[in-house]
Amino acid sequence: MDIDFALVLVVLVAVCGAIWLLDLLLLKKARNRAIDETRNAHAGSKSEQAMQQELDELAREPIVVEYAKSFFPVLLLVLMLRSFVIEPYQIPTGSMIPTLEVGDFILVNKYAYGLRLPVIGTKIFSVGDPQRGEVMVFIPPHENKYYIKRVIGLPGDRIRYEDNQLYINGEAVPREYVGETSIEFGPQQLPGSLYREEVGGVVHEIQMSNVPLGRDGRTSWIVPDGHYFMMGDNRDNSADSRVWGPASEAKIIGKAVAIWMHKDPGLKLPTFSRNQRIQ
């Protein structure tokens, strides 16, 4: 089950803030009244040391309030950073191979395309729009979870993908053969080819199977307003806009900018050998 960390953080911040506010408005005043009453009732009847011990006990904050006041600023800072600056994300599938591998930990720039409220995603400040060739994290139209793909089509673009060739607005996207590779397709390892492709001025590598997969279906699309056509760099092993349609601008999470760590599945130690900017 996927955990919505943004929602968890919002709830924790709200709970801690509410406890702190409750203490400030009610509980602290009650403690102060008890201190005043005790001081007046026992003035001169107890030693100064005994009186001070009793007053200190009355002034002590409940453990729940103490923890809430300690955690609130830390949780609020984490929430602000994740919501408006940088959010970490782990690559769960191979749909972006060879650019991103399973187990890559990446950083997602949350303000590149505008500031959005956490959880509900409403844009409150516009900064820029996604551009062709950028790698973007978003929520697709068919599933409420993070996906990561490359921006191929902008609003109004005509996209065609036929015979392993990508066309944007009638122009074939340039690509250059790099070499042979092996592509994991379910339990199989299929022979494939690596190409260097240029989309929107961004040069990146893609891979395609050398074995016909017998896929039939739609080959052309027009990107509607407020949407983006997304594709994986692992062209024959990526469920993307060719399957579930364009991604909505309202569901954008941010721009993937860098790999900061990699960890293979299982009991493997993390490495930093793949640290690099994402092209």
Which residues are catalytically annotated? 95, 149
Q: Which two tokens stand for residue 116?
A: 């959005």
* Residue 205 to residue 248: CA distance in whole angstroms: 25
Residue 138 burial (CB < 10 Å; 0-12/13-18/19+)? buried
Sign of torsion over alpha carbons 147, 150, 153, 159: negative
Mode of pairing for the β-strands spanning 175-185 and 171-172 = unpaired
Asked if residues 199 and 152 have their Cβ atoms less than 8 Å apart, the reply is: yes
* Residue 205 to residue 51: CA distance in whole angstroms: 76
Question: Measured between alpha carbons, how far is residue 12 from residues 75, 82, 176, 270 in Å?
Answer: 7, 14, 50, 29
Asked if residues 104 and 262 have their Cβ atoms less than 8 Å apart, the reply is: yes
Q: What is the DSSP letter of 271?
A: B
3-state secondary structure of 182: strand
Sign of torsion over alpha carbons 148, 221, 163, 131: negative
Strand partners, 137: 148, 254
